[in-house]
A and B are shown apart, each in its own frame.
Chain A
Amino acid sequence: MRVVLDRVSYHHGPLHVLDAVSFTVEPGERVALIGPSGCGKSTLLSLAGGLEAQQRGAISLEGPPSAECLNPLTFVFQDFALLPWRSVAGNVALALEHHGLSAGERKARVDYVLGLTGLSEFASAFPKQLSGGMRQRVGIARAIAVKPAVLLMDEPLSALDAQTRELLMEDLLQIWRRERTTTLYVTHNLAEALRLADRVVVLSRRPAQVKHILTIPIPVAERTAPQHAPALQQLQVELWNAIKLEASTAERELQHV
């Protein structure tokens, strides 16, 4: 499924957040969205997922979702958003409960995604019994259980420590290889964007516009290979140069809010 953002603008009260943002996410593509703090990355994701009402411009989907898809636009949240009173399996099942699936079908989907994310042994555990990384695995399992056409990931790894982040990035790549889900991925971490995305969209400070779009020419599977390290380092410098002045200006602006 293709996602088309066409001159999307957004005001939050007197605050002009987004200004004519346009880009597309091709079917099966992973696009990372980066920009200075407070520039409206998460707002754009919420608009794309229908959690904020669109004001100006248009966000459209092209092409039908697969027959198994229960929720075309599916989020993975930064704070995991797990129900603390439900078990791991119960949290995943929540996403499946209102789509007319039989109990057997629901259980099969829950078992499949828990297996995929390495959570089968923790099906009956409560979120408070899990580490941050495990909690986010539950968030990812819940998202892929509905076979989404588009995954909208809002800084999914930013609440995790560096080691857990590395492990979860590997897992995400494996899941993507298998599911080939179109993904829009918000992050503030340039290395993360360069590791996971096919393209990186750089937003300017508020009101955010598309400042730069970078296509990463190295296949995702080869990005940890030592021979690509200099090229990736060069791309990271390019991204940082695109964002540096915007980030420092935005930082000063935020201090004066």
Chain B
Amino acid sequence: MSEAPLRPVPFRAAAFDSKPRRWAALIAGGVVLASWELASSSGLLPALFMPAPHAVLRALGELIADGRLFAHLSASLQRIVFGWILGSAAGTAVGFAMGLFGLVRAVGLPLTAAFFPIPKIALLPLFILWFGIGEPSKLATIGFGVFFPSVISALTAVEQVPRSLVRMAQSFGVPAWSIVRTVILPGALPGILAGFRISSSIALILVVAAEMIGAQRGIGAFVLAAGNLMQTDQLIAGVLVLSGLGLVISWLIGRAERRLLRWR
């Protein structure tokens, strides 16, 4: 045996540790808010361009108290919900069909590739010409904007269902439509729900843009009006509401995922 001294083996895999640290997010948020408040109260940030957090909160409180927030938020929510349901339901159905049938895919894929890159808000003037300045043109913009991402996510989700599972069902003589119901649909569900996350964010962006172009009510119209009147505290309060709306939508989809994808 060697007489050399024993040395402990050092741990060398500490880097790239992915352990979650929730406290870090809370501290970072607190630091940002405190710095913002400090910069505003010291005059470093002019109140006209960047009001202090307490002023934004006060404006938000006033919006809630006088009912304006509810009026604008309900108008935006109605547009998001109807436009998103319309676009995502149609897009998911078309994408699913493209994943299942070669002919639908052959027709749909070039059309999707051609229409997907168009910034959908650029079509709002066209939709106003077609449907008028009212709700239908806004719903069409949101629905159209949500449609193509939904097509792509549903198509990808169907393609990612393991082929071995389909072959297994075929080997047991399961009829084709039952394979769609019992194998392909549940197998594609994670991808479809992930697509809903993306399409709901797109719906949020489009509703704000559409409301800024032609609406009296809605968070987008409110933010634009506040900016025109230099009411920066209300403007930022409106932006915070949009952020909150995005978080709520994401939370709802997360709940749906946890409920529908328990098996994961």
Q: A residues within 8 Å of B by Cβ? A: 49-51, 70-71, 73-75, 77, 79, 81, 83-86, 94-95, 97-99, 126, 128, 142, 146
Contact: B172 with A95, CB < 8 Å? Answer: yes
Q: How far is the CB of A228 from chain B (nearest CB, A)?
A: 35
B contact patch SS? helix
Which of chain A's residues has its CB closest to B163's CB?
A: A81
Q: B residues within 8 Å of A by Cβ? A: 162, 164-165, 167-175, 178, 182-183, 186-187, 261, 263-264
Q: How far is the CB of B262 from chain A (nearest CB, A)?
A: 8
* Alpha-carbon distance between A57 and B178 when the two chains are bound, in angstroms: 32
Contact: B172 with A83, CB < 8 Å? Answer: no
Which of chain A's residues has its CB closest to B164's CB?
A: A81
CB within 8 Å for A94 and B169 given contacts A79-B164, A83-B183, A84-B264: yes
Contact: B172 with A84, CB < 8 Å? Answer: no
CB within 8 Å for A75 and B173 given contacts A84-B263, A94-B182, A126-B263: no
Told that A71-B171, A97-B182 touch, could you supply 5 new A-B pairs with CB distance under 8 A? A83-B165, A85-B187, A94-B169, A94-B182, A98-B174
Which residues of A are found within 8 Å of B186, using beta-carbon distances? 83, 85
Contact of A97 (CB < 8 Å), options: B164, B165, B171, B174: B174
* Alpha-carbon distance between A98 and B187 when the two chains are bound, in angstroms: 20
Which residues of B are found within 8 Å of A73, using beta-carbon distances? 171
- Interface-central residue, B169, B171, B178, by most chain A CB under 10 Å: B171
* Alpha-carbon distance between A73 and B175 when the two chains are bound, in angstroms: 16
Contact: A98 with B264, CB < 8 Å? Answer: no
* Alpha-carbon distance between A71 and B169 when the two chains are bound, in angstroms: 12
Q: How far is the CB of A254 from chain B (nearest CB, A)?
A: 22
Which residues of B are found within 8 Å of A99, using beta-carbon distances? 173
* Alpha-carbon distance between A80 and B175 when the two chains are bound, in angstroms: 20
Contact: B170 with A83, CB < 8 Å? Answer: no
Which of chain A's residues has its CB closest to B173's CB?
A: A71
Q: How far is the CB of B95 from chain A (nearest CB, A)?
A: 20
Q: Could you show 9 A-B contacts with beta carbons less than 8 Å apart?
A: A51-B167, A71-B171, A71-B172, A81-B168, A83-B186, A84-B263, A85-B187, A85-B261, A97-B178
Which residues of B are found within 8 Å of A86, using beta-carbon distances? 263
Contact: A49 with B171, CB < 8 Å? Answer: yes
Contact: B168 with A75, CB < 8 Å? Answer: yes
Contact of B173 (CB < 8 Å), options: A81, A98, A128: A98
Which of chain A's residues has its CB closest to B178's CB?
A: A98
Counting from the closest, the 5 A-B pairs by CB-CB distance are: A81-B168, A85-B263, A95-B172, A75-B171, A85-B186
Contact of B168 (CB < 8 Å), options: A77, A84, A97, A126: A77
Contact: A51 with B171, CB < 8 Å? Answer: yes
Which residues of A are found within 8 Å of B178, using beta-carbon distances? 97-98
Q: How far is the CB of B248 from chain A (nearest CB, A)?
A: 27
Contact of A74 (CB < 8 Å), options: B162, B169, B171, B174: B171
